Amino acid sequence: MSNPLLDDRDLDFQLHAVLGAERLFGLPRFREHTRETAMMYVGSARKLARDKLLPSYRAIDRDPPRLVGGRVTLHPEMKGLFEATRDLGVIAATRPTEVGGQDLPLTYASAAMVYLMAGNGSVLGLLGLTTGAARLIESFGDESLKTRFLHKMYVGEWSGTTALTEPQAGSSLSDVTTRATLASDGGYRVRGSKIFISGGDHDLTENIVHLALARIVGAPAGIKGVSLFAIPRLREEGGALVDNDCTTAGMIHKIGWRGLPSIALELGDRDDCHGWLVGEPNRGISYMFQMMNEARLMVGLNGIATASVAYREALHYARERPQGRALGARDPAAPQVPILEHADVRRMLLRQKAIVEGGLLLLLRCALLSDLADAAEEEPARKLAARLLDLLTPVAKTFPAERGFEANALALQVHGGYGYSSEYLPEAWLRDQKLNSLHEGTTGIQGLDLLGRKVVAGAGQSLLDLRDEIMATIRSAREAGVSADECGRLEGAVAALMTVTTHLGGLGLEGKIEEMLRHSADYLEMFSVVVIGWQWLAQADAATRLLAGSAAKSNPDAAPEATTPEIEALCRGKLCAAQYWAATELPRVGTLAALCLRNDDSYARMQSDWF
């Protein structure tokens, strides 16, 4: 298999040797499962991703959806892939059995999703959007709404979307103008224009349910007047499905994610678009934000998956492609060497590895925190996990999107001139990746969210919690004998992060909001480097312990044959990548911290006509 999408050994290492995720099965919430049943689910996803999704990826990328006669038609392969993936139970994998779910921890569901996303992000996208929409109904809808929509969505008979964005509003959700009017029958009629609605129309399911933001007539201006509605493309009337006045007004010609259509949606052109209010009036934004945080983790997971499949492709290419000779080799008649032998190619690959595997651990850790926030037995443990998850979400969304894009560009670069051609896939994954810095809150918005909301919430308690977690990893790594230099660098980086946060938080307390947030992009970058540094130290810790264990093993018969050299290789690679991150990235924290503390005002001062 030339492209495994993800290294199976690495996933196992991260889940079990680093995170100890099997402890979840000791919690009542997950008692239906064991590590083995959960990994069986991961294994099915992995197999589907390798056998079906990746092989058809190229054809689907080349032949994007078409809008014909007002309806969207997907690539003919999409229906079979959608159904096969749906039939794994992906949509409701983490939901309780009562609503048709499998009660799986999000940690293992995420592990399965990484493979599926790496195989074809669009297929998983359609299913993930359905999960997100259905969860809003599960969380906030009343029983009649659940009866009407929930089951059909969780089994994937109907799909779902979230319809937030409007042409005039973009990221500014307070400017939503879609209107909902209470009709004489007690229901709502909705009218307005939505744009960038992923999965907003397609030919895979009988019906599509849009979870849309709209203003009830007479509601206050701004975000406090926005409500959430469920709006099916077809509504049930007298036992039949009838047209609910949702028009596909246009299709966005996206540069990637070519299996998944994104449309402009007109609601209520004929004043016959029925909407069902979800939860209470005027609380739509807060409901959406529950979904949004989960959606941001899915974006991060996609970023890692998209970088991983490209990294694996580049690694395979670098092992096979002969070109050039060692530096200083004098014999032109000697055979050429694989390009992996060239230091700069190894640099590009190790950098990709550091981004992909560091980011994957962060995403798995966030999923674990989500599971603990839901299901830990003691309330303090649930609250701690929820705080940490909240704090880490902007990083888990942005790091894979931004550094993943860099990794994808490096994968293309490793392919040389061939990488610039559409005969090879790295260019397609690079296009796919670019979406992740844009959807579900742009990178700029993540920076504002992190610095302006997350680190200052609850008097900064969550950042103190994070520091404690990182310090615990540093202690463990020291105990295991990980390089003192690496431990010391991470400790210094955490201290710098605390200093900067205190300083910027102080500006906020003085009411200097603009100054506080001016360097939110640099702050997010610094924060990410530290958090990924933590993931690498945790992996160095686990790898060092594994290596010491096998070295200490006096009876070689006890070690499973054939796996020992493999695990040793895995651990050696982990140590190199951890060293790389500590040597190359952690020193940047000092530079970024100084920039934030100094609060350089170059772009703050810049005027429109000075550009």
Question: Nearest approach, Cβ of 581 to a second copy (angstroms)?
Answer: 9
Question: Nearest approach, Cβ of 578 to a second copy (angstroms)?
Answer: 8
Q: Is 206 helix (H, G, I), strand (E, B) or coil?
A: coil
- Residue 254 makes contact with a second copy by CB under 8 A: yes
- Residue 600 makes contact with a second copy by CB under 8 A: yes
Find the binder of a second copy among 253, 453, 475, 553 (CB under 8 A).
253
Q: Which is nearer to a second copy, 18 or 540 (CB)?
A: 540
Residues 192-221 that bind a second copy (CB under 8 A): 195-196, 221
Q: Which is nearer to a second copy, 384 or 456 (CB)?
A: 456
**Piece of the chain touching a second copy by CB under 8 A; list 269-277, 279-287, 334-342, 384-392:** 334-342
- Residue 448 makes contact with a second copy by CB under 8 A: yes
Q: Which is nearer to a second copy, 189 or 215 (CB)?
A: 215
Residues 291-330 that bind a second copy (CB under 8 A): 315, 319, 322-325, 327-328
Q: Which is nearer to a second copy, 34 or 336 (CB)?
A: 336
Find the binder of a second copy among 420, 468, 549, 553 (CB under 8 A).
420
Q: Which is nearer to a second copy, 183 or 221 (CB)?
A: 221
CB atoms within 10 A of CB 334: 10
> What does the alpha-carbon distance between residue 273 and residue 229 come to, in Å, rounded to a whole number?
11
Residues 157-176 that bind a second copy (CB under 8 A): 165, 168-172, 174-175
> What does the alpha-carbon distance between residue 265 and residue 164 come to, in Å, rounded to a whole number?
11
**Piece of the chain touching a second copy by CB under 8 A; list 241-249, 279-287, 342-350, 490-498:** 342-350
114 burial via Cβ count (<10 Å: 0-12, 13-18, 19+): buried
Size of the chain in residues: 611
Which amino acid appears at position 263 of this protein? Answer: I
Q: Is 162 helix (H, G, I), strand (E, B) or coil?
A: strand
Antiparallel, parallel or unpaired: β 246-251 and 240-243: unpaired
> What does the alpha-carbon distance between residue 474 and residue 207 come to, in Å, rounded to a whole number?
51
The site for a second copy, by CB under 8 A, has a size of: 99
CB 150 within 8 A of CB 86: no
Question: Nearest approach, Cβ of 397 to a second copy (angstroms)?
Answer: 15
- Residue 333 makes contact with a second copy by CB under 8 A: yes
Find the binder of a second copy among 116, 208, 345, 482 (CB under 8 A).
345
Question: Nearest approach, Cβ of 582 to a second copy (angstroms)?
Answer: 9
Q: Which of the residues 440, 486, 525, 585 is marked catalytic?
A: 440
Which amino acid appears at position 400 of this protein? Answer: P
Token pair recorded at residue 429? 């994954």
Q: Which is nearer to a second copy, 444 or 492 (CB)?
A: 444
CB 267 within 8 A of CB 231: yes
> What does the alpha-carbon distance between residue 401 and residue 355 come to, in Å, rounded to a whole number?
11
Over its C-alpha atoms, the chain yields an Rg (Å, rounded) of: 25
- Residue 549 makes contact with a second copy by CB under 8 A: no
Token pair recorded at residue 452? 């302006």
CB 527 within 8 A of CB 399: no
Going by C-beta distance under 8 Å and a sequence separation of 6 or more, which residues neighbour residue 287?
Answer: 136, 139, 140, 228, 278, 279
CB atoms within 10 A of CB 44: 15
- Residue 595 makes contact with a second copy by CB under 8 A: yes
Antiparallel, parallel or unpaired: β 158-163 and 207-216: parallel
Find the binder of a second copy among 45, 208, 412, 487 (CB under 8 A).
412
402 is catalytic: no
Find the binder of a second copy among 65, 447, 463, 540 (CB under 8 A).
447
Q: Active-site residue numbers?
A: 440
